[in-house]
Amino acid sequence: MRPVAVEAMLPFFSGRFANPSGSHRFARDARRAVDEARDQVADVLGVAPGEVVFTGCGTEADNTAILGAGGVAVCSAAEHHAVLHPVLEHGGTVVGVDATGQVDLDRLSAALTAETAIVSVMAVNNEVGTISDLAAVAKLVRRLAPRALLHTDAVQAVSWLDVRTIAPLVDLMSFSAHKFGGPKGVGVLTISDGVSVDPLIIGGGQERERRSGTHNVAGIVALAAALVEADDQRAGENERLAALRDRLVDGVSGAVDGVVETVPRDRKVAGSAHLCVEGIESESLLYLLDEAEICASAASACASGAMEPSHVLAAMGVDRALAMGALRLTLGHTTTIDDIDRAVDVVSTSISRLRRVSVR
Ligand code: PLP
């Protein structure tokens, strides 16, 4: 977590512990803290404070949008499971993507019908880092399905893109604090004025009946503090981390053969390095990296006992054998040049070691 976020939340575990829905002075103090956080969040996300709904996580924000729209949902095949599963389980339509993970606009046009209640296309892909052309998606959806709501899962966008430019294009946006240096277990769904989605959680009527449940005051305050800092640092961090990402990818590709960059750099966010390594299996590589305390992911899901390549790579048409060697390395506000140089060394040595073993 960003130190500003930790610092912001600590008082709410001790002196300022009250429930903001109460009526006494301590409750009013907690309510003020939530209101201030809401104003800060609204400012960074380019919406009005009344359009901000605090949720328990990004998954809840996604589920509320998809299920609360109350009809047939359409989404891209590269969505996170937090969108994909509710769409599929409620009879929705999944639309194919191109080789970079960008939704195919022709196929999206064909999928839109008079029954379409909501279209969901992510702002930034969590596995490969591709930035979606939401302006093109919005133009198409408004023309062909004017009654449909447009949602974007912007969980991965905040550190890299100015969300104020996305907000006017869509009706609903999802966020999660732990993706920008806040705590886990708190998120945001923005709901544009005049748009109505049924709540997923009903009860005490908090968040103007849109999300019941006692507010996670410490989490909300920390989310806002992290968001404000991420917004302030965005331009500088984009530049710094793009240079470090290039050093990482070029370093590994220069040291070993058969390393394929999954998505061109100009189509993706600065903090994402996604490689497919020929002739190795991600699982073994991750084991060696973990031993050297390099935390990486393969973006593979272990389904029915067998390692399956990620649904995102499959949708992008990446060859199955190549996808089995996927390696996802992400950079963030704490990443240093020393981290990168060490990662280049360990990743390259580990790939060479695995290839030697498999030849024997
Ligand atoms: N959507 C995307 C694109 C994500 O990367 C994630 C997090 O992994 C989520 C949704 C889910 O967010 P949360 O972990 O807060 O439920």
pLDDT along the chain (360 residues), means of 10: 98 95 96 98 98 98 97 97 97 98 98 96 97 98 97 98 98 98 98 97 98 98 98 98 98 97 97 96 95 88 62 96 95 97 98 85
Q: Distance from the CA of 340 to the center of ligand 1, in angstroms?
A: 25
C-beta of residue 303 within 8 angstroms of C-beta of residue 309: no
Q: Report the pocket of ligand 1 as residue ranges, CB < 6 Å.
A: 57-59, 62, 80, 82, 122, 126, 153, 155-156, 176, 187
Q: Parse the chain into domains and list their residue ranges.
A: 3-230, 234-359
CA 280/CA 105 separation, integer angstroms: 34
Active site residues: 302
CATH 3.40.640.10, applies to 3-230: yes
Task: From 161, 179, 272, give the residue whose CB has the most ligand 1 atoms within 8 Å, as the site to mutate.
Answer: 179
The 8-class DSSP code of residue 128 comes to T
- Bridge partners, 150 (sequence order): 119
> Angle formed by the axes of helices 217-255 and 337-359, to 10°?
60
pLDDT of residue 72: 96
Q: Homologous superfamily of 234-359 in CATH?
A: Aspartate Aminotransferase, domain 1 (3.90.1150.10)
Q: Distance from the CA of 304 to the center of ligand 1, in angstroms?
A: 23
Q: Distance from the CA of 91 to the center of ligand 1, in angstroms?
A: 22
Task: From 66, 75, 79, 80, give the residue whose CB has the most ligand 1 atoms within 8 Å, as the site to mutate.
Answer: 80
pLDDT of residue 306: 56
DSSP string computed for 139-191: HHHHHH-TTSEEEEE-TTTTTTS-GGGTGGG-SEEEEEGGGTTS-SS-EEEEE
Q: Distance from the CA of 279 to the center of ligand 1, in angstroms?
A: 30
Q: What is the pTM (predicted TM-score) of this model?
A: 0.96
Q: Which ligand 1 atom sits closest to the C-alpha of 124? A: 3
pLDDT of residue 76: 98
Task: From 79, 159, 176, give the residue whose CB has the most ligand 1 atoms within 8 Å, as the site to mutate.
Answer: 176
pLDDT of residue 30: 97
E strand or H helix at 72, and its extent?
A: strand 72-76
